[in-house]
């Protein structure tokens, strides 16, 4: 349990948000040309990092907007929050 | 078996003031090379080593464990054992385990306190009723005992449940698997450790894996905090940390690791003599032999390795427990903890070879791995020894995420994940 600084609403309790999992997984541009391996990679395979993870969150009980968070999954400390489409403030 | 436990050994040691019990397993230094190494000294890993030595005669093997054996999810779960899964593949897998549980204490000469007190799953809405009835039929077609109970029968089987129709999520019935129950989780790890050790397996604790060494497509050894150990067969059973180990070998797994919480109350006199699980409101409860209520909560929604979990999850679970069991309203909770569970997209495990030769993974057990411990060890040992899966775990290969043959037990498996 932690506090997330929503880029639109400010600091709110984590229970107001929904986790959208790993960020920056780009949707395939030409899905019809994807092999089964590539589909598996896109749909199912995850880095599941212990440490600094780039992830998506949705302020589902607030403004309902999506944004990105950089969080250390080994201690739940949040290092940065940035809007969709923005460059990560920390190098990936 | 040396140091066989029996009524005679108990009397003999009682007469000498219990000062002469021998240690149950050795504490060896790692050798330079093994025929196989198991990474992870939890129940599944120790069981794998035991069956590799016992059934496949591979005795030059080691189990390496970062902390102490059974200190991870084996010691953190709510000890529920059942096999009432919907799909054929899962039914085969979990009932294989349940059958081994039934003779495990005798086989290991170690009391794992397996207690077939039954597991009841409650239905709280019409969809639950339809799903649970369907699962009951599916179970019976697979030879697994399952019965449907109406509300009156639920009340009769477990009288402290509030079956009033006026509560927010009234009990509309439930399913019962009588062969299901609980076991003592620590004893499972210790029993398998002792059994494996007596067959010559080296159990190396405080030995963290730092790297997996490959020669092209073949695995050749592991870097550990106790030095480099060579082996051409490495079986990884690292639960929540499976992805961390996979990353060391340059692999990615379809897993997300999340905290799952449980809590126990102060000990009280016997009040609930079965296990009651409730999918829709996510609360399950049983009572340990010490008298504590053992309560399982849900997982957090986000990836985390913190072994804590969020307070709101506990709150939601206790809210449901209180509505279903008003008699517990004055109970005090003594301890709360979290374990990191590795969840697959289809909520079924992976017991599989990988694209790296000699590297095997047994992971993805998510929120319900304890019940499968003996079966998981047996089938993983078969997979490692023969470099081929057993027919019972063939469906649980990692390629199902490419082929699309998922074993989708989300929701179907009698509990929300």
Asked whether the predicted pLDDT for residue B413 surpasses 80, the reply is no
Nearest by CB to B310, which of A1, A43, A75?
Answer: A1
Looking at residue A1, what is its pLDDT? 80
Across the range B368-376, mean pLDDT stands at 97
Across the range B382-386, mean pLDDT stands at 98
Looking at residue B109, what is its pLDDT? 97
Looking at residue B417, what is its pLDDT? 44
How far apart are the C-alpha atoms of B387 and B257, rounded to whole Å? 27
Degrees to nearest 5, angle at CA B253 with B248 and B259: 95
Best B304, B336, B398, B405 residue to mutate vs chain A (most A CBs within 10 Å): B304
Asked whether the predicted pLDDT for residue B369 surpasses 90, the reply is yes
Quick count: other Cβ atoms within 10 Å of Cβ B342? 26
ipTM for the predicted complex: 0.95
Across the range A35-53, mean pLDDT stands at 96
Asked whether the predicted pLDDT for residue B101 surpasses 70, the reply is yes
Q: Are B371 and B384 in contact (CB under 8 A)?
A: no
Across the range A38-60, mean pLDDT stands at 97
Pairing verdict, β A10-13 and B350-353: unpaired
Pairing verdict, β B80-81 and B181-182: antiparallel
pLDDT over 70, % of chain B = 98
The B residues from 283 to 302 touching A (CB cutoff 8 Å) are 301-302
pTM for the full predicted model = 0.96
The backbone torsions φ and ψ at residue B55, rounded to the nearest 5 degrees and listed phi first, read: -95, -25
Asked whether the predicted pLDDT for residue A90 surpasses 90, the reply is no
CB pairs A-B closer than 8 Å: 68
A12 contact residues in B (CB cutoff 8 A): none
Closest-CA residue of chain B to A37: B402
Asked whether the predicted pLDDT for residue A40 surpasses 90, the reply is yes
- B12-41 pLDDT, tens digit per residue, is 999 999 999 999 999 999 999 999 999 999
- B208-255 pLDDT, tens digit per residue, is 999 999 999 999 999 999 999 999 999 999 999 999 999 999 999 999
The architecture (CATH level 2) of A3-83 comes to 2-Layer Sandwich (3.30)
- B69-91 pLDDT, tens digit per residue, is 999 999 999 999 999 999 999 99
Classify B369 in phi/psi space as left (phi over 0), alpha (psi -120 to 50) or beta. alpha
How far apart are the C-alpha atoms of A5 and A10, rounded to whole Å? 5
Helix and strand counts by DSSP (H, E) for chain B: 10, 19
Residue-by-residue DSSP string for B197-243: HHTT-EEE-S--EEEEEEETTEEEEEEETTEEEE-S-EEE--GGGHH
How far apart are the C-alpha atoms of B100 and B107, rounded to whole Å? 9
CA distances from B400 to A36, B316, B330, B345, B373 (A): 11, 34, 48, 11, 22
- Residue B18 tokens read as 């219990």
Q: What's the pLDDT band for B412 if we cut at 50, 70, 90?
A: low
Closest-CA residue of chain B to A18: B301
Nearest by CB to A48, which of B257, B306, B403?
Answer: B257
Quick count: other Cβ atoms within 10 Å of Cβ B28? 13
The pairs formed by B224-229 with CB atoms below 8 angstroms and a separation of 24 or more are B224/B30, B224/B64, B226/B29, B226/B30, B227/B30, B229/B30, B229/B31, B229/B32, B229/B33, B229/B34, B229/B37, B229/B62, B229/B64
Outline where DSSP puts E strands in chain A: 3-6, 10-13, 18-22, 52-58, 66-72, 77-83
How far apart are the C-alpha atoms of B115 and B38, rounded to whole Å? 29
CB contact under 8 A, A73 and B303: yes
Degrees to nearest 5, angle at CA B8 with B2 and B14: 105
Q: Are B42 and B77 in contact (CB under 8 A)?
A: no
Nearest by CB to A45, which of B244, B252, B310?
Answer: B252
Looking at residue B181, what is its pLDDT? 98
Q: What's the pLDDT band for B186 if we cut at 50, 70, 90?
A: very high
Best A44, A55, A59, A76 residue to mutate vs chain B (most B CBs within 10 Å): A44
Tell me whether residue B69 is exposed, middle or buried, using C-beta atoms within 10 angstroms of its C-beta: 0 to 12, 13 to 18, 19 or more: buried
- B190-220 pLDDT, tens digit per residue, is 999 999 999 999 999 999 999 999 999 999 9
CB contact under 8 A, A18 and B241: no
B244 contact residues in A (CB cutoff 8 A): 50
Looking at residue A81, what is its pLDDT? 97
The backbone torsions φ and ψ at residue B374, rounded to the nearest 5 degrees and listed phi first, read: -65, -40
Q: What's the pLDDT band for B3 if we cut at 50, 70, 90?
A: confident
């Amino acid at each position: 349990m932690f506090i997330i600084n929503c880029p639109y609403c400010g600091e709110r309790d984590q229970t107001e948000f929904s986790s959208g999992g790993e960020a920056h997984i780009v949707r395939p541009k030409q899905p019809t040309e994807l092999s089964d391996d590539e589909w598996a990679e896109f749909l199912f395979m995850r880095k599941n990092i212990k440490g600094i993870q780039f992830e998506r969150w949705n302020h589902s009980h607030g403004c309902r907007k999506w944004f990105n968070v950089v969080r250390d999954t080994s201690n739940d400390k949040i290092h940065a929050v940035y809007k969709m489409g923005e460059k990560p403030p920390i190098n990936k | 078996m040396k140091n066989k436990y029996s009524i005679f050994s108990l009397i003999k040691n009682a007469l000498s003031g219990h000062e002469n019990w021998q240690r149950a397993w050795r504490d060896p230094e790692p050798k330079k090379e093994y025929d196989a190494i198991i990474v992870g000294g939890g129940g599944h890993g120790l069981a794998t080593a035991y069956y590799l030595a016992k059934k496949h005669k591979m005795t030059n093997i080691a189990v390496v464990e970062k902390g102490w054996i059974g200190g991870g999810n084996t010691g953190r779960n709510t000890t529920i054992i059942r096999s009432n899964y919907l799909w054929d593949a899962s039914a085969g897998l979990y009932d294989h385990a349940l059958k081994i549980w039934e003779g495990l204490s005798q086989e290991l000469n170690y009391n794992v306190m397996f207690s077939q007190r039954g597991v009841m799953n409650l239905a709280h809405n019409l969809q639950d009723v339809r799903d649970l009835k369907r699962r009951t039929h599916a179970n019976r077609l697979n030879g697994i005992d399952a019965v449907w109970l109406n509300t009156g029968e639920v009340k009769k089987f477990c009288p402290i449940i509030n079956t009033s129709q006026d509560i927010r999520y009234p009990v509309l019935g439930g399913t019962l698997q009588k062969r299901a129950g609980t076991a003592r989780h620590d004893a499972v790890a210790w029993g398998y450790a002792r059994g494996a050790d007596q067959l010559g397996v080296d159990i190396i604790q405080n030995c963290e894996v730092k790297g997996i060494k490959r020669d092209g497509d073949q695995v050749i050894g592991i870097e550990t905090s106790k030095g480099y150990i060579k082996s051409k067969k490495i079986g990884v059973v690292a639960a929540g940390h499976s992805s961390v180990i996979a990353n060391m070998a340059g692999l990615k797994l379809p897993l997300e690791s999340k905290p799952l919480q449980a809590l126990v109350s102060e000990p009280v006199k016997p009040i609930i003599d079965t296990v009651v699980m409730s999918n829709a409101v996510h609360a399950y409860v049983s009572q340990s032999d010490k008298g504590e209520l053992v309560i399982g909560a849900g997982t957090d929604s986000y990836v985390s390795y913190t072994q804590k979990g969020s307070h709101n999850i506990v709150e939601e679970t206790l809210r449901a427990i209180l509505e279903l069991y008003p008699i517990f309203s004055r109970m005090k909770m003594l301890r709360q903890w979290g374990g990191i569970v590795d969840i697959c997209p289809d909520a079924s495990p992976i017991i599989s070879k990988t694209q790296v030769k000699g590297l095997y993974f047994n992971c993805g057990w998510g929120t319900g791995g304890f019940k499968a411990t003996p079966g998981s060890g047996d089938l993983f040992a078969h997979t490692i020894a023969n470099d081929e899966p057993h027919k019972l775990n063939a469906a649980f290969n990692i390629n199902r995420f490419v082929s699309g043959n998922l074993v989708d037990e989300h929701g179907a498996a009698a509990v929300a994940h």
